[in-house]
Amino acid sequence: MFTIVRVRNGVTETLKDSSSHLEKIFVDSITASHLAFALNRHLLPNAARWEIRSI
């Protein structure tokens, strides 16, 4: 299982499910990678990047 996280100002943020306050969990890394890529595509160059982590 995988989740998407980023570190901003030394604090780790986990991507939350849009319909709740719970962390978004992915069963496979490919789906998580696609979403992380989509999220990072719209960030400013110096912004914290989203990455996938195994849980």
- Each residue of 17-41: pLDDT tens digit? 988 899 999 999 999 999 999 999 9
Answer whether residue 11 shows pLDDT above 90. Answer: yes
H or E segment to which residue 31 belongs: helix 29-41
d(CA 38, CA 22): 20
pLDDT at 39: 94
pLDDT at residue 45 in the model: 86
Give the domain extent around 10. Answer: 2-54
What is the C-alpha to C-alpha distance for residues 44 and 26, in angstroms, rounded to an integer? 25
pLDDT > 70: percent of the chain: 100
Task: Report CA-CA distances (Å) from 48 to 1, 7, 18, 19, 39.
Answer: 23, 6, 20, 23, 11
Q: How many domains does the chain have?
A: 1
